Structure 1
Amino acid sequence: MYNPTVARLTYRAVLGRRRAAILFILPALLLAISVAVRSFNGVDDQIAANVLGGFAIAAMVPLIGVIAGTGSIAPEIDDGSIVYLLSKPVKRSSIIFTKLIVAIAVTMVFSAVPTLIAGYILNGNGQQIAIAYTVAALVASIAYSALFLLLGTVSRNAVVIGLIYALGWEAFFGTLVPGARTLSVQQWALALAEDIGGEGLIGSDVGLPVAVVLLSVVTVAATWYAGQKLRVLKLAGEE
């Protein structure tokens, strides 16, 4: 299923100059905030949880997911270069699977790694807060990558829609509006974080079993549907 050639082309597209610059900005900002907070407030578990939950999980991870997920396929569809891949003897399901793996890898590296480092800066992983939020970032990276990869296959405005979703639904409604929290990838990921550590510091409106099921269903369904959309995408001259 995994195709090295497709992966190489996808990495090149996702990590192009402009996208790579954007990918580095958010992690750098998180680390800068963490250093500043630690300097002014010292070690404080609640503040560490607030920074990691309020910025890393609520904003940074979904935004990086938008960049990596949509960037892995949307530009190729928009400029027509996807025709190059579709004309080769490569299964379209393999193309989607490989692009998903690349999107997940990029999202994890640029979100989970800085989350872990920020957690250690903030409170030295007291109450397993750094590990808990890192796990949340890892699982959220998978779901976001699948969702935004799908968005890249169905809309030419994938980035705009993705940003609206990431900043509106996940960063705002998914954090502040009680009813919306149960339908938020952020809250599903936090359910795993809550189970790992930070008792009383990390909270989710979704139970762990339900969160695992929803994360799995959304990831599988989005990947499957993206494959279906690519499968029916016709090349010029096809009947």
Structure 2
Amino acid sequence: MSTVAMITARGLFGRRRALMLLPLPVLLIGLAAICRAYDLEPNRWGAAVIVGLGCAVLLPVIALIVGTGVLGSEVDDGTLVHILTKPLARRDIILAKYAVAVAATAVTTAIPLFVAGLLADSAGFGGALALAAVVGSFAYTALFLLLSLVTRRPVLLGLVYILIWEGLLGRWVSGTRVLSIEQYVITIADKLQPTAILDARVGITTAAVMSLLFVVGCTVFAINRLGSFSLAGETS
């Protein structure tokens, strides 16, 4: 399992894909720093920068890049077959790749969100955002890892979920928020450190339970899906 994790990390950070993880965190911190430098009231820019860019773009997009990257490329180029010939349980393969994806996403998103929260309010607010980002990293990467196994266009479907389901429907249709990871992240951060910057639209119980369901459900489904792959690289 550790070998699979090391190979996954090397493949993830040794490609151009890793460079795609840098612009959004730099942009988030840069915008927050500029607003703070000009002494703008946090209520004037906090929601747009922290929620609009950090929670709605930075976190899900990086999770999409990483979550689909740790396994999707191996499905596309056929190298998944070589992994499946090894004496490894399908569960161990998925869990190793999932662990790498979560760690990469959490580090890349929690740190810039902490800095943005610190600049907007306090270390407590930054810590709440960072912890919520970690929870979101678990949920998002589980979903996007699963998509890389069930479709040949995981990035496209992931963008549909981020832009249409969360970005459009999640803001205007209240019923869709129950299945919005972005809303879970906002609610958890707001519960840990209440602030006018965040506008929680689901309950904390819903956020906690649904986050867990995303993590467990998508991971179990991914394990079962990988188990259906034959050595010819096709599903049975």
Query: TM-score w.r.t. structure 2 length?
Result: 0.92
Question: Residues of 1 paired with 2:39 and 2:160: CA distance?
Answer: 33
Q: CA deviation at 1:161?
A: 1.5
For structure 2, list consecutive stretches of 5 or more residues without a partner in the other structure.
none
2:106 aligns to what? Answer: 108
Question: Residues of 2 paired with 1:110 and 1:78: CA distance?
Answer: 25
Q: Kindly indicate whether the alpha-carbon contact (under 8 Å) linking 1:59 and 1:171 is maintained by their aligned counterparts in 2.
A: no
Q: Kindly indicate whether the alpha-carbon contact (under 8 Å) linking 1:118 and 1:130 is maintained by their aligned counterparts in 2.
A: yes
Aligned amino acid, residue 196 of structure 1: L
1:120 aligns to what? Answer: 118
2:210 aligns to what? Answer: 214
Q: Kindly indicate whether the alpha-carbon contact (under 8 Å) linking 1:132 and 1:198 is maintained by their aligned counterparts in 2.
A: no
Question: Residues of 2 paired with 1:237 and 1:52: CA distance?
Answer: 42
Q: CA deviation at 1:206?
A: 1.2
1:129 aligns to what? Answer: 125
2:27 aligns to what? Answer: 29
2:151 aligns to what? Answer: 155
User: Deviations 1:65-111 (Å, cap 9, x if unpaired)?
Assistant: 10110001010011000111100001011000111101100100111
User: Deviations 1:187-208 (Å, cap 9, x if unpaired)?
Assistant: 1122211111134432222111
Q: CA deviation at 1:17?
A: 3.0
Q: Taking every aligned residue pair, what percent have the same amino acid on both sides? A: 38
Question: Residues of 1 paired with 2:44 and 2:198: CA distance?
Answer: 9
Change (3 A) 1:194 1:46: farther
Q: Kindly indicate whether the alpha-carbon contact (under 8 Å) linking 2:42 and 2:197 is maintained by their aligned counterparts in 1.
A: no
Q: CA deviation at 1:186?
A: 0.8
Q: Kindly indicate whether the alpha-carbon contact (under 8 Å) linking 1:115 and 1:134 is maintained by their aligned counterparts in 2.
A: yes
2:89 aligns to what? Answer: 91
**Worse overlay, 6-15 or 165-174:** 165-174
Q: CA deviation at 1:237?
A: 9.7
Question: Residues of 2 paired with 1:145 and 1:130: CA distance?
Answer: 22
Question: Residues of 2 paired with 1:58 and 1:237: CA distance?
Answer: 35
Q: CA deviation at 1:170?
A: 2.4
Q: CA deviation at 1:184?
A: 0.5
Question: Residues of 2 paired with 1:118 and 1:202: CA distance?
Answer: 13
User: Deviations 1:153-203 (Å, cap 9, x if unpaired)?
Assistant: 111111121122223322333344433222201111222111111344322
Question: Residues of 2 paired with 1:133 and 1:115: CA distance?
Answer: 6
Question: Residues of 2 paired with 1:45 and 1:150: CA distance?
Answer: 37
Aligned partner of 1:141 among 104, 126, 137: 137
Is the partner of 2:179 in helix, strand or coil? coil
Question: Residues of 1 paired with 2:142 and 2:233: CA distance?
Answer: 30
Question: Residues of 2 paired with 1:237 and 1:68: CA distance?
Answer: 22
2:46 aligns to what? Answer: 48
Aligned partner of 1:198 among 190, 194, 201: 194
Q: Kindly indicate whether the alpha-carbon contact (under 8 Å) linking 1:182 and 1:205 is maintained by their aligned counterparts in 2.
A: no
- 4+ runs deviating over 4 angstroms: none
Question: Residues of 2 paired with 1:30 and 1:199: CA distance?
Answer: 19
Query: TM-score w.r.t. structure 1 length?
Result: 0.91
2:68 aligns to what? Answer: 70
Q: CA deviation at 1:132?
A: 2.0
Aligned amino acid, residue 106 of structure 2: M
Question: Residues of 1 paired with 2:19 and 2:139: CA distance?
Answer: 23
Question: Residues of 1 paired with 2:119 and 2:196: CA distance?
Answer: 21
Q: CA deviation at 1:12?
A: 2.0
Aligned partner of 1:171 among 159, 167, 192: 167
